[in-house]
Amino acid sequence: MSDKNAQGTAVEDRCANLSAVPAKAGAGRGSLLTRKVLVFTLNDGDYAVDIAQAKEVLDSPFITKIPYVPDFVKGAINLRGEIISVLDLRPFCGLGPSKRTDPPKVLVTDVTGSVIGVLADQVKGTLEICPDQVQDPLLTLDGRIQCHVKGQVRMEDRIVVWLDLRSILQSEAINRLRGTVG
């Protein structure tokens, strides 16, 4: 069995076993309905966004560099005749530049009403998680990222950080950029 299948089966088993676990009081996690997320990597970490926030994944598109933009703006791509910006989430997650040499993937989203691309080193696939599996954001997270994290999910020996893509794309840094552009 592949690691991906093993992870999916392990998650399904945990979801089934959680039906007897009471919800955390006040956590709003009483429902055992699963949520589907898209799991991707940035540097060595695993991250996820709600699958509904990712409209499509592009495999290594050509990114045109744009001068005089903040470091988190990596450039623009041509998406079927529409030119869209491509952002790097690493600065929002407190990460340094990617060490990978293979071309990145681009997650396309319109969660804020305009189409935008977000870089990912690798897309691992989808994962269904039970609300009771999600731990609140760590108190030790820096305040700049803590407000953009929905929680953490343990996936075998890894931790997946569940990001709120809408929150990131509506952050002060991006809104400030929109204000200077628009």
**Residue 121 belongs to domain with CATH number:** 2.40.50.180
* Domain of 153, in residue numbers: 3-21+28-181
* pLDDT per residue as tens digits for the range 18-57: 322 333 333 444 446 889 999 999 998 899 999 999 999 9
> Taking a C-beta distance cutoff of 8 angstroms, is the pair 48, 67 a contact?
no
Mean pLDDT of the chain: 78
**164 phi, psi to nearest 5 deg:** -95, 95
Average pLDDT over residues 127-133: 88
pLDDT at 155 over 60: yes
Higher pLDDT, 97 or 41: 41
The CA distance from 73 to 177, in Å, is 10
Which CA distances in Å does 60 have to 29, 56, 71, 89? Answer: 37, 13, 20, 17
**Confidence category of residue 150, pLDDT binned at 50, 70, 90:** confident
- Total of domains in the chain: 1
Percent of the chain with pLDDT over 90: 40
pTM for the model: 0.75
Structure tokens belonging to residue 122: 């690798």
Cβ count within 10 A of residue 72: 18
pLDDT at 13 over 70: no
